[in-house]
Amino acid sequence: MIWLGTSVTAEDASKNYESKKLEFEELVMAKNAKNGQIYEKSNQEYCVTDEFEEKSSMSVDENTNTSNGVEESDEGLMMGTWVKISENKYVNRIE
């Protein structure tokens, strides 16, 4: 979870959210650029692909849980719910 701060108005809350969202995306992309991974933005889902594999995107059902292959990770910037979609490909649901 990322702390967005406190806001008095909805407009301030929206600005805080967008600012932290961009900051988080930049940190994640910079960290994973070192690993040869590419992130594709699709609404609030991210698809991670190996640099040399075909890019793809996939939506995640919000009702998924650990009983059907969902893994949770809180290491560093990679917080969220991870779903393995194929060899070396994962989708991270960031809320």
pTM of the model: 0.36
The pair of structure tokens assigned to 84 is 């393995």
Mean pLDDT of the chain: 65
The residues near 94 (Cβ < 8 Å, ≥ 6 apart) are 24, 44, 45, 46, 79, 80
Q: Which residues of 13-33 are buried (b: 16+ CB within 10 A; e: fewer)?
A: eeeeeeeeeeeeeeebeeebe
What does the pLDDT look like over 24-56, one tens digit per residue?
Answer: 888 888 888 777 665 555 444 555 555 444 444
